[in-house]
Chain A
């Protein structure tokens, strides 16, 4: 119930195309859903995040779509660029027994072909 399932494991998209990464969760106690971008040899950087009271959040070329009833959320990267090539992690967080839990997906390696 603590898992966050992320797919696909890897993704190749042509420059200018739309990259879509999906995540699913089971525990309805999760109340915050961030996406992190990580370049090789670097720490993850917060990209965009959403709370379950909204169905979509857009920041520039990055959009999170959130489906509360299906317990799914996805990251859409519009007009994908070679500089977007990185590993993307979805995550979900909640408070449990006064402890903050941040549960990570397994990651998606995104390659944008020029």
Chain B
């Protein structure tokens, strides 16, 4: 049973560029959440996708956008990259929206984004 997978592992971009990160959820999961984790800090919630729609969003600007595909995989897009966007981007998957089964989130290994 494959866990959450993310690609690429590492990425280096320059300021102003755009980036797309990808995530495949754990088998059986249909909800994907994205987090940004700066060095030495806890994960910060970006947004969550369920049934191909953004269901909730954290305190991140519109430069951060996403998409969920019919197979439940997801993309995170960041436009006009800033130096401060350098971080580990984590994808987490869970099942459904609401209820006990949705509590447990499983995380992927993350994508390390460096903005120069």
Contact = CB atoms under 8 A, between A and B. Distances in A.
Contacts of B90: 43-44
A46 B45 CA distance: 17
Question: Secondary structure of the A side of the interface?
Answer: strand
Nearest to A90: B42
Given A42-B109, A99-B56, A102-B45, A49 B102 contact: no
Contact of A104 (B42, B106, B112): B42
Contacts, number: 55
Interface residues of B, number: 27
A93 interface: yes
A58 to B, nearest CB: 18
Interface in B89-116: 90, 92, 97-98, 100, 102-110, 112
Given A43-B90, A98-B98, A107 B41 contact: yes
